Amino acid sequence: MPSRGLTFLVLAFWLLAAFATPPATAADKDTLVIAIDTLGAQVMDPIADTRAPHAHYHAPVWDSLVGFDLERGGIGPGVAERWERPADGKSWTFYLRRGQRFHNGDPVTAHDVKFSLERTMSPESIASGAAALRRAIERIEVVDDLTVRVHTRGVIPHFAASLSRAVFMEGSVMPKKYFEKVGEKGFREKPVGSGPWKFVRNVPGDRIEYEAVDYPHWRGTPQFKRLMLLLVPEQSTRLAMVRTGEASIASLGPEAIKEARAGGMKIVSVPGTMQAVYQFWGLYRPEAKASPLTDVRVREALSLAIDRQQIIDHVMAKQAQWPLPFATFRYSSDMDVARWDDWAKTALRHDPARARKLLADAGHPNGFPLTFWNTALPGTPFMVQIGEAVAGFWEKIGVKVDMKTIEWGAFDPMGRGEQKGLVGTASMYRTAGRPEPAPRYITTFISTGVQHLFGDSQHCPAICQEADRAYEAVVSEKDDARRTAATNRMIETVARSWIAVPIIEGMGYWAVNPKRVGFFKPIPGRHEFGDVAERMPRPEQKPWPN
Amino acid sequence: MQRYILRRLMQGAVLLVVLAIVVFALARVTGNPADLLLREDATAEDRAHLLKALGLDRPTHQQLLIFLKGAVRGDLGDSIRYRKPAVEVFFERLPNTVGLVSIALVGAMVVAIPLGMLAAVGRGTLVDRAAGAVAVLGIATPSFWLGIVLIYVFSIQLGWLPSARMGTPAHYVLPVITLGAFLVAGMMRLVRSSVLEVLDSEFVKLARIKGLTQTVVLWKHCLRNALIPVVTLFGVFFALLVTGAIVTETVFAWPGVGRLTYEAVIFRDYPLLQAVILLKAIIVLGVNLVVDILYAYLDPRVRYA
């Protein structure tokens, strides 16, 4: 029978496959197993991946020059315990903690910081903020072993923040001596950092394994001996793994929260990880002149039509918050949070009667046709459901929405350059959780920004000029109090334009098996696991409150 | 025979060149990896810099020439995402898929052949109808849904099997069943119709006239002849599954080439996508070539046609 030979062949393949991939360590009580939807490029090198995957799987190994404010969110001490700017504001001096060391025993010094920043800026780097860093840094000076000074091109008030994983990823500190000894290939195969977890194994497409350092670490000394990040793209499977104990924690979307709770899992919500917004494109352009959207009353009406509480309750399973103005969060710095909290409660209310009146006043009592691009940025697929809800609310006040659901990779290029296909239309968009709003405002509103929603160099109406001035006042201001006032003015200009409007403040969601991990708090604004794993207790150390 | 093989090899080479050009063009129609890598606030300058770092700053025709020249030497470029040779990334994952698909295929044959035989022998009976129902169910059940149901029952409720990933032999059970369900259905219908055809042939009637028992007639004379199309299809199924087990690999977090293909598409990893499709095409062409050569060996009419 041919099947006999075939059986041998199959057995051979099976054995080959089984041994080709070393089996994962069985999930035991000493191993913290986290199932996540992406491991990005899965290359162990901080310059070889973008932000979100970096903060999942690089962060356990590499510390960042600037760290987190763990309680409030935003930036705090990191490898540098403090930093300062001189009066001219054109340089930043970072003072490193004493006694830090890499996993190979080498001390962490200012030379490593200089090397790391220069490597992150190198031509081969695809790190998210490499280009911004190249624009910002003029030169780097090692003052002494524990002091490094970065000279910037002009005043950059938010420079230190960009070196924290609270914002981006450019601050990862790599070991200069080790890298020079083993080269790039050797570094990627056997990476060494100074984080609380040492690299053990990288199995492409499957997992990355780490081992806890055996000494106290400033980020928190791990309570588990091992950490394993599993790549499990399907959400149902991730939840099943947490439920069966094959994984301790998994990332999930808001639509799965109910199911996770029913399965006995605990839900950890990370506040302020993103803000879902809608925005109008190219309204300043001559070809959009006849669009009803050029009337601010129409734009305000479209916001008043939206019942945000319904979206929070039903689309986001109550795991979302009322938003603040565009790209601002309750942990934001450089702004008056209490003032904008009050503003949001009133201005972003649901008032369909007022919406209809505004539409009628603007000459559109029966509504008007509106093209709406519904898309979701990577990592937040629920944006599409939010977009559908928004379209539904607009329909209720008479707007005839032509909704075009489009994959992000196809939509994103439309928003760059001429934006011809987008002029006079609306789209879903997102702002990621960041402590300082100004960098996001340049992208979206300033005439030289990528999206330049208010105007460009050829057509810059009054609001565009006002926003440009407001932004310039923010980024050139060295005094903190005056910069806060300038930021408030910038936020106000954008808020009363109703051109980019927040819908909800989203959260990151984790399902936790309470028999495998104890109670812990996430870092506000960051839904990635890389900086939290070392602070997760064992279940017996800190049981979950009922 | 040698001329026949040479002709088929040349046809295959031409097909690969055409495919390479089509894949190269189609990959670029859907977007650019730089758009997925860049920050929201990236400027045109940032984009240009990244395109250069990724080697995508040259004109498209130059990129195509570089790709084709490299392909001739067996160099299909470096994966944009994984930062290493695309061929290496593919072959890292291939054994995982081959192992899974092989077991699913053999498992499907072990179930489908007896079922098909029973259905053919008992044509029109309850057994035949039940087997038909199984076939319809197997074909109609989406792999995605079946996988999730199996995880729910056998991992969550009963706790008998791991819910996902590679590792021990137990990890193979659920994905093999998920892949195999579809195969069993198709194979069973094939065996049934094949056996029915053979049962009606002259040599079977002769065997019965000679007084051979039903068991001998069925399992020795009928089955061997009826299995020829099944064995032929084995190769086709194998190639199809190696290239198409995307859903099963995604549900069970199986690090195979199906999921790799999906990731390459989503991430616009041009070099990896090109490499994966070309290498899969080579596998399909190779399997087909072997089948054709076997046919030509068995039936001289084929090689002289």
**Residue A15, domain member (yes or no):** no
CB distance A14 to B100 below 8 Å: no
Assess whether A282 and A365 both reside in one domain: yes
pLDDT of residue A4: 53
* DSSP secondary structure of A516-545: TS----PPTT---STTTGGGPPPTTTSPPP
Q: Is residue A332 part of a domain?
A: yes
Average pLDDT over residues B111-139: 87
Best residue of A1, A10, A162 to probe chain B, by most B CBs closer than 10 Å = A10
- Does the residue B67 lie in any domain? no
Question: Which residue of A25, A37, A121, A234 is the best one to mutate when testing the B interface, meaning the one whose CB has the most B CBs within 10 A?
Answer: A234
What span, in angstroms and rounded, lies between the C-alpha atoms of B189 and B119? 9
Nearest neighbour of A409 by CB, restricted to B30, B41, B172: B30
How many of the other CB atoms lie within 10 Å of CB of A185?
Answer: 9
In a domain, residue B185? The reply is yes
Cα–Cα distance between A295 and A305 in angstroms, integer? Answer: 16
Of B40, B155, B250, the CB nearest to A443: B40
Mean pLDDT of chain B: 84
- Which of A301, A295, A303, A297 is CA-nearest to residue A279? A303
Give Cα A402 distance to the centre of its chain. 30
**Quick one: B170 exposed, middle or buried, by C-beta within 10 A (0-12, 13-18, 19+)?**
exposed
Residues A520 and A414 both lie in one domain: no
Identify all chain B residues contacting A432, using CB atoms and an 8 Å cutoff. 40
Tell me the chain B residues in contact with residue A21 when contact means C-beta distances shorter than 8 Å.
95-96, 166, 255
Q: Of B204, B291, B50, whose CA–CA distance to A48 is shortest?
A: B50
A511: which chain B residues are within 8 Å (Cβ-Cβ)?
none
Provide, as residue numbers in chain A, all residues whose Cβ is less than 8 Å from the Cβ of B253: 206, 230-234, 237
Q: Quick check: A413 and B81 CB within 8 A?
A: no
Is B30 domain-assigned? no
pLDDT at B298 over 70: no
Distance from C-alpha of A174 to C-alpha of A61, rounded to nearest angstrom: 10
- Tell me the angle at which helices B223-244 and B270-298 cross, rounded to the nearest 10 degrees: 170
Given this model, what pLDDT does residue A27 score?
A: 63
| Chain B: closest CA distance from residue A144 (Å) | 33
Which residue shows structure tokens 């697929």? A381
For B304, the token pair is 């002289």
Which of A7, A14, A31, A187 would you mutate first to test chain B, the one with the most B CBs within 10 A?
A: A14
Chain B closest-CA separation from residue A12 CA (Å): 8
CATH number of domain containing B198: 1.10.3720.10
Whether A4 is in a domain gets the answer no
Residue of A nearest to B266 (CA): A409
The Cα of B14 is separated from the nearest Cα of chain A by a number of Å equal to 31
Is B156 inside any structural domain? yes
Lowest mean pLDDT among A131-135, B48-52, B192-196: B48-52
Task: Say yes or no: A495 and A457 in one domain.
Answer: yes
What is the C-alpha separation between A362 and A292, in angstroms, rounded? 8
Q: Count the neighbouring beta carbons within 10 Å of the beta carbon of residue A521.
A: 11
Best of B26, B30, B39, B250 to mutate (most A CBs within 10 Å, chain A): B39
CA-based nearest distance B39→chain A, Å = 6
The dihedrals phi and psi of B80, each to the nearest 5 degrees, come to -65, -35
Q: Do residue A46 and residue A135 come from a single domain?
A: no
List the A500-512 sheet strands across, edge first: A197-203, A207-212, A226-231, A31-36, A249-252, A500-512, A266-280, A426-432, A369-374, A400-405
Write out the residue range of the structural domain in which residue B230 sits: 86-298
Of A71-85, A219-233, B187-201, B230-244, which gets the smallest average pLDDT?
B230-244
Separation between Cα atoms, residue A374 and residue A404, nearest integer Å:
6
What stretches of B122-169 show up as alpha helix (H) in DSSP?
126-140, 143-150
* Chain B residues inside the 8 Å CB shell of A45: 83
Nearest residue in chain A measured CA to CA from B169: A18
Reference A148, options A125, A182, A118, A123; nearest CA is A118
Q: What are phi and psi of A28, to 5 degrees?
A: -115, 180
From chain B, pick out residues whose CB is under 8 angstroms from the CB of A276: none
Note the Cα A405 to chain centre separation in Å: 23
**CB proximity list for B3: less than 8 A, separation 6 or greater:** none
Point out the residue among B37, B103, B253 whose CB comes nearest to the CB of A233.
Answer: B253
Instruction: Give the up-direction half-sphere exposure of residue B77: CA atoms within 13 A in the CB hemisphere.
Output: 24
Residues A32 and A79 in one domain: no
On whether both A360 and A448 belong to a single domain, the answer is yes
Looking at the domain assignment, is residue A421 inside a domain? yes
Cα A235 from Cα B156, distance rounded (Å):
15
What are the tokens at A227? 């950490």
Interface test with chain B among A38, A128, A158, A431, by most B beta carbons within 10 Å: A128
At residue A90, the 3 state secondary structure works out as: coil
Residues A328 and A282 in one domain: yes
Domain count, chain A: 3
Give the residue carrying structure tokens 């219908």. B189
Residue B293 contacts residue B303 (beta carbons within 8 Å): no
User: In angstroms, rounded to a whole number, what is the distance separating the alpha carbons of residues A149 and A85?
Assistant: 10
In Å, the largest CA–CA distance within chain A is 87
Q: Is the pLDDT of residue B302 over 70?
A: no
CA atoms within 13 A on the CB side of B227: 16
Asked if A498 and A535 sit in the same domain, the reply is no
DSSP state at residue A511: E
Identity of the highest mean pLDDT range in A39-43, A62-66, B60-64, B163-167: A62-66
Q: Check residue A1 and give its pLDDT.
A: 42
Gyration radius of chain B's alpha carbons: 24
Rounded-to-integer distance, Cα A64 and Cα A120, Å? 12
Strands A369-374, A400-405: pairing kind:
parallel
* pTM score over 0.90: no
Asked if the Cβ–Cβ distance from B166 to A23 is below 8 Å, we say yes
CA-based nearest residue to A392, from A522, A305, A329, A273: A305
**Nearest by CB to B95, which of A20, A41, A443?**
A20
Choose from A1, A3, A411 for mutation: most chain B CBs within 10 A.
A3
Domain boundary among A118, A144, A176: A176
Contact A17 B100 (CB under 8 A): yes
CB contact under 8 A, B253 and A231: yes
Is A8 touching B (CB cutoff 8 A)?
Answer: no
Residues 328-347 of A with CB under 8 A from B: none
pLDDT of residue B288: 78
Q: Based on the structure, what is the number of domains in chain B?
A: 1
Q: Which two tokens stand for residue B235?
A: 């190769």
Helix, strand, coil share of chain A (percent; to 5)? 35, 20, 45
Which residues in chain A have their CB less than 8 angstroms from residue B96's CB? 17, 20-21, 205
Q: Cβ-count burial of B186 within 10 angstroms (0-12 exposed, 13-18 middle, 19+ buried)? A: middle
Pairwise CB contact (< 8 Å): B36 & A20: no
> Which residues of chain B form beta strands (DSSP E)?
none
Span between the terminal Cα atoms of chain B, in Å: 12
List Cα–Cα distances, B252 to A164, A248, A359, B91, B97, in angstroms. 35, 17, 51, 20, 12
Does a structural domain hold residue B72?
no
Contact A20, B256 (CB under 8 A): no
A342 and A446 fall within a common domain: yes
**Pick from B45, B99, B252: CB nearest A18:** B99
CB A89 within 8 A of CB A157: yes
- Find chain B residues with C-beta within 8 A of A6's C-beta: 106, 234
B45 contacts on A by Cβ (under 8 Å):
131
Which residue type is seen at B98?
A: V
Confidence of residue B205 (pLDDT cuts 50, 70, 90): confident
Considering the domain boundaries, does residue B285 fall inside one? yes
Would you say residue A75 lies in a domain? yes
What is the spatial distance between Cα A253 and Cα A511, in angstroms, rounded to a whole number?
Answer: 10
Q: Are residues A172 and A313 in the same domain?
A: no
Q: What's the sign of the alpha-carbon dihedral A419, A421, A424, A429?
A: negative
Q: What is the mean pLDDT of residues B86-105?
A: 91
Beta carbons of A410 and B41 less than 8 Å apart: no
Q: Are residues A412 and A527 in the same domain?
A: no
The DSSP bridge partners found for residue B189 are: none
Residues of B with Cβ-Cβ distance to A379 under 8 angstroms: none
pLDDT band at B304 (very low <50, low <70, confident <90, very high): low
Residue with tokens 């990627």: A188
* Residue B303 belongs to some domain of the structure: no
Provide the 10 A C-beta neighbour count for residue A180: 10
More confident residue, A523 or B242: A523
Domain assignment of residue B60, yes or no: no
In a domain, A3, yes or no: no
CA distance A10 to chain B (A): 5
| Crossing angle for the helix pair B86-121 and B126-140, to the nearest 10 degrees | 160
Both tokens of A322, joined, read 């009322």
Range of the domain at A388: 273-506
Using an 8 Å Cβ cutoff, are B175 and B136 in contact?
no
Residue A44 dihedral angles phi and psi, to the nearest 5°: -85, 75
CB-nearest to B255 from A124, A206, A236 is A206
**CATH number for A367:** 3.10.105.10
Asked if A233 and B40 come within 8 Å (Cβ–Cβ), the reply is no
Query: How far A143 CA sits from the closest chain B CA (Å)?
Result: 31
Per-residue pLDDT 10s for chain A (546 aa) are: 444 555 555 555 555 555 444 444 446 889 999 999 888 888 999 998 876 788 899 999 999 999 988 888 888 999 999 999 988 889 999 999 999 999 999 999 999 999 999 999 988 887 877 888 888 999 999 999 999 999 999 888 888 888 988 877 789 999 999 999 999 999 999 999 999 999 999 998 899 999 999 999 999 999 999 999 999 999 999 999 999 999 999 999 888 888 899 999 999 989 899 999 999 999 999 999 999 999 999 999 999 999 999 999 999 988 899 999 999 999 888 899 999 999 999 999 999 999 999 999 999 999 999 999 999 987 788 999 999 999 999 999 999 999 999 988 788 888 877 888 899 999 999 998 888 888 889 889 999 888 999 999 889 999 999 999 998 898 888 888 898 999 999 999 999 999 999 999 988 899 999 999 999 999 988 888 989 999 999 999 999 987
CB pairs under 8 A between A and B: 177
Structure tokens, B67: 């790709």
A4 contacts: CB under 8 Å, gap ≥ 6: none
> Do A413 and A300 fall within a single domain?
yes
Q: Do B251 and A237 touch (CB under 8 A)?
A: yes
What is the signed CA dihedral for A377, A379, A385, A391, rounded to 10 degrees?
A: -20
Give the helix/strand (H/E) hosting A16.
helix A2-20
Q: Would the CB atoms of B47 and A416 count as touching at under 8 Å? A: yes
SS3 label, residue A358: helix
What is the reported pLDDT for A370?
97
Residue A19 inside a domain? The answer is no
Distance CA B144, CA B250 (A): 9
Sign of CA dihedral B251, B255, B258, B263: positive
The encoded tokens of residue A417 equal 């350059």
Q: Which of A332, A407, A343 is nearest to A375 (CA)?
A: A407
Q: Which of A202, A412, A427 has the highest number of chain B CBs within 10 A, making it the mutation to test binding with B? A: A412
CATH number for the domain that contains residue A97? 3.90.76.10
Q: Residues 6 or more apart from A74 whose CB is under 8 A from it?
A: A68, A161, A166, A331, A332, A333, A435, A524, A525
Task: Identify the pLDDT of residue A156.
Answer: 86
C-alpha B115/C-alpha B206 separation (Å) is: 25
